[in-house]
């Protein structure tokens, strides 16, 4: 039972990551490979404020989210100068920069050794010590992020984001400040990623830079491509599929000496097959 709760917590942490990235990639058409950087910023800021300055979880989390959003806005000013493949490459570079800072600023982040002993969240004296209570907390945050994202997607702002995806120049001709819209959604989704980072840090009670590398950004992108871009429910389905698939493959009786490699091979074959025969993903409405 505890193992199922563990998987459910991981799922509820990845839901805000996937849903928020879908607003950028699926709805706005901006191929961003930097979501794990904001995920890491939220995790480290929340952790450092709690451990070094004695902040409570919720104030530390809010500050981590705000800082992730502010940094996203500043980076977005640079990123907005680029289009298409160059946009993806520059975002790729930002993730590497953040990862390198987390790895090499040893006095602050403890480098590759990471930070351990991160306390669990608490409110009004109640500590979310049990995994079940933490699951309720993380599910509540996941639901809030989904509802906010759904409101954005179905609002006039969401329609403008889709307009940017389809033809940004046409919107600009009609007087819309498309750069401002892109900065707004990029910053807003970064705060959501920062939220997921704070939850991850306090659940695992340990963070190190490897959890927020470029590979993690690619994994989050795979979730939304698999689940379906421009469909928030698809993001949830993709997160559930990719969280459960490795665990299902563990149950297959491979020989011990090749079990890990065979699970990775099957995992990759399933993903490739889905992309070949269902390129818009499980529930997608848009394809890159």
pLDDT in tens, 155-184: 999 999 999 999 898 998 888 999 999 999
Count the helices and strands in the chain (H runs, E runs): 11, 4
Half-sphere exposure at residue 9, Cβ-oriented, CA atoms within 13 angstroms: 22
Whole-number Å distance between alpha carbons of 281 and 229: 7
DSSP states along 201-251: HHHHSEE-GGGGSHHHHHHHHHHHHHH-BT-HHHHHHHHHHHHHHHHHHHT
Q: Which two tokens stand for residue 92?
A: 């790729």
pLDDT tens digit sequence for 188-209: 999 999 999 999 999 999 999 9
Q: What is the pLDDT of residue 94?
A: 95
In this structure, the number of other CB atoms found within 10 A of the CB of residue 182 comes to 21
Q: Which two tokens stand for residue 205?
A: 């009670």
Q: What is the pLDDT of residue 267?
A: 67
pTM value? 0.93
Q: What is the pLDDT of residue 282?
A: 81
Q: Which two tokens stand for residue 22?
A: 């879908």
pLDDT tens digit sequence for 205-257: 999 999 999 989 988 998 998 898 899 999 999 999 888 877 777 777 666 56
188 Cβ contact partners less than 8 Å away, ≥ 6 residues apart: 20, 23, 69, 152
Q: What is the pLDDT of residue 244?
A: 85
pLDDT tens digit sequence for 27-47: 999 999 999 999 999 999 999
């Amino acid at each position: 039972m505890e193992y199922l709760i563990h998987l459910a917590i991981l799922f509820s942490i990845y839901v805000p990551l996937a849903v928020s990235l879908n607003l950028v990639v699926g709805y706005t058409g901006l191929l961003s490979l930097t979501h794990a950087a904001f995920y890491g910023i939220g995790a480290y800021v929340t952790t450092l404020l709690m451990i070094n300055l004695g902040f409570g979880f919720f104030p530390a989390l809010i500050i981590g989210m705000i800082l992730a959003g502010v940094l996203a806005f500043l980076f977005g000013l640079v990123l907005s100068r680029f289009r298409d493949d160059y946009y993806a490459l520059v975002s790729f570079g930002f993730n590497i920069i953040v990862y390198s800072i987390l790895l090499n600023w040893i006095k602050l982040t403890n480098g590759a050794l990471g930070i351990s002993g991160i306390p669990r969240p608490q409110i009004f004296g109640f500590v979310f010590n049990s995994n079940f209570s933490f699951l309720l907390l993380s599910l509540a945050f996941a639901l809030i992020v989904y509802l906010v994202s759904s409101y954005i997607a179905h609002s006039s702002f969401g329609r403008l984001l889709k307009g940017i995806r389809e033809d940004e120049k046409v919107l600009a001709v009609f007087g819309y400040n498309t750069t401002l819209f892109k900065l707004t959604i990029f910053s807003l989704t970064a705060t959501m990623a920062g939220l997921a980072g704070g939850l991850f840090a306090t659940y695992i009670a340990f963070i190190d830079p490897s959890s927020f590398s470029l590979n993690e950004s690619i994994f989050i992108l795979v979730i939304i491509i698999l689940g379906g871009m421009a469909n928030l429910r698809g993001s949830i389905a993709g997160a559930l599929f990719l969280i459960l698939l490795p665990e299902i493959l563990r149950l297959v009786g491979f020989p011990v000496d090749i079990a890990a490699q065979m699970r990775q091979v099957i995992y990759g074959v399933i993903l490739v097959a889905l992309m070949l025969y269902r390129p818009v993903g499980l529930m997608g409405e848009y394809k890159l």
